[in-house]
């Protein structure tokens, strides 16, 4: 990937923890696979209801801030959410990390995050409906590039873009991700991982770019799988509650047991300052984040504060 452009902000450098043989643009291939996937309305409804609940139940905000966060989510999701907003959703956050309010807005013209989603397939245990391994990069109009489970035999990589009216963009079954699924290790144990890189930056004037990339372990480089340019203000990117969650296990059942280890490794971020210059990649620090768990059966195997965690149930 080139390191600069003629626009306001340089393209972010790739994460430094992996070799990078150069960028491949595979959007056409991913778009073709996505076009063949049937629309899953039940999944989409569950995703939207889950985001409303995520805001409504977040413990780190007062009531006024909570209500404001809920309204922001509803407004961002658009008209399709109004028919489902009052339907109950069990679960919430099985375990995960949220950015501190100060760190959430502590970037200038760009923010980028990468992590290894620890994503066993199947998830194991009593998972019989939706379960997500998801994260945001702090931008209010960024994307969620995430792992989506539906029971034991329906696992996908998906992209949801908060900057668009047509939010749903990428839908790839795990069976099509052989070049991207690999094995990582932590604390002496191997884990199945999907390395994900997710960026938002201002490219010119009021135009921002969202990108999602996956690491191709076969060729040793990052592949561009999604990109979208749009108009936004700094306030829209910084003042929204959307973008508050780092890696989380988002749940839809009242309790879990005997699930395989899952979570996140090597969560790292980089910021561009107000002049468009990127800093250096750094692991998410404990001082910049908080832990949330909604007590639905997940137990922490380990936490490296706050850039890596594994949970089981």
pLDDT, position 60: 67
Examine residue 168 and state whether it is found in any structural domain, yes or no. yes
Examine residue 51 and state whether it is found in any structural domain, yes or no. no
pLDDT, position 116: 99
Which token pair is 156? 């996908």
Q: Are 199 and 109 in contact (CB under 8 A)?
A: no
Looking up tokens 């191709």 gives 216
Residues forming a β-bridge with 183: 192
Preceding amide of 296 cis, omega within 30: no
How far apart CA 92 and CA 296 sit, in angstroms, is 8
Examine residue 148 and state whether it is found in any structural domain, yes or no. yes
CB-neighbour burial class of residue 185 (10 A; exposed 0-12, middle 13-18, buried 19+): exposed
How far apart CA 194 and CA 213 sit, in angstroms, is 11
Q: Are 294 and 92 in contact (CB under 8 A)?
A: yes
Examine residue 46 and state whether it is found in any structural domain, yes or no. no
Examine residue 7 and state whether it is found in any structural domain, yes or no. no
Domain count of the fold of the chain: 1
pLDDT, position 46: 86
Examine residue 190 and state whether it is found in any structural domain, yes or no. yes
pLDDT, position 47: 87
Cα distances from 297 to residues 29, 74, 255, 310, in angstroms, run 38, 28, 5, 13
pLDDT, position 5: 42
Terminal CA-to-CA distance of the chain, rounded, Å? 40
How far apart CA 119 and CA 140 sit, in angstroms, is 25
pLDDT, position 49: 84
Residues 6+ apart with CB under 8 A from 308: 186, 263, 264, 265, 266, 267, 302
The whole-angstrom distance between residue 270's C-alpha and the CA centroid of its chain comes to 15
Q: Note the pTM of the prediction, 2 decimals.
A: 0.91
Question: In which domain, by residue range, is 243 found?
Answer: 24-37+92-312
Examine residue 79 and state whether it is found in any structural domain, yes or no. no
Residues forming a β-bridge with 230: 208
pLDDT, position 80: 66
How far apart CA 225 and CA 293 sit, in angstroms, is 31
Examine residue 50 and state whether it is found in any structural domain, yes or no. no
pLDDT, position 42: 86
Ranges in the chain, pLDDT < 50: 1-7, 88, 90
CB-neighbour burial class of residue 59 (10 A; exposed 0-12, middle 13-18, buried 19+): exposed
């Amino acid at each position: 990937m080139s390191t600069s452009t003629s626009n306001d902000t340089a393209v972010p450098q790739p994460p430094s923890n992996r070799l990078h043989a150069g960028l491949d643009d595979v959007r056409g291939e991913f778009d073709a696979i996505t076009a063949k996937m049937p629309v899953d309305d039940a999944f989409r409804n569950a995703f939207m209801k889950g985001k409303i609940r995520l805001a409504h139940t977040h413990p780190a905000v007062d009531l006024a801030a909570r209500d404001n966060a809920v309204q922001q989510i509803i407004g961002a999701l658009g008209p399709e959410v109004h028919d489902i907003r009052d339907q109950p959703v069990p679960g919430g956050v099985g375990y995960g990390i949220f950015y501190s309010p100060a760190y959430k807005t502590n970037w200038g013209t760009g923010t980028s995050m990468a992590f290894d989603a620890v994503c066993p397939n199947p998830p194991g245990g009593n998972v019989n409906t939706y379960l997500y391994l998801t994260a945001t990069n702090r931008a209010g109009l960024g994307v969620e590039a995430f792992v989506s489970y539906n029971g034991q035999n329906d696992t996908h990589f998906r992209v949801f873009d908060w900057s668009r009216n047509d939010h749903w963009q990428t839908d790839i079954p795990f069976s099509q991700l052989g070049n991207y699924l690999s094995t990582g290790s932590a604390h002496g144990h191997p884990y199945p991982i999907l390395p994900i890189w997710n960026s938002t930056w201002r490219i010119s004037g009021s135009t921002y770019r969202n990108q999602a990339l996956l690491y191709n372990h076969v060729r040793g480089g990052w592949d561009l799988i999604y990109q979208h340019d749009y108009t936004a203000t700094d306030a829209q990117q910084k003042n929204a509650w959307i973008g508050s969650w780092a890696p989380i296990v988002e749940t839809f059942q009242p309790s879990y047991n005997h699930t395989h280890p899952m979570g996140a490794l090597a969560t790292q971020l980089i910021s561009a300052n107000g002049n468009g210059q990127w800093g250096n990649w750094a692991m998410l620090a404990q001082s910049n984040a908080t832990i949330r768990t909604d007590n639905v059966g997940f137990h922490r195997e380990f936490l490296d504060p706050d850039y890596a965690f594994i949970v089981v149930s």
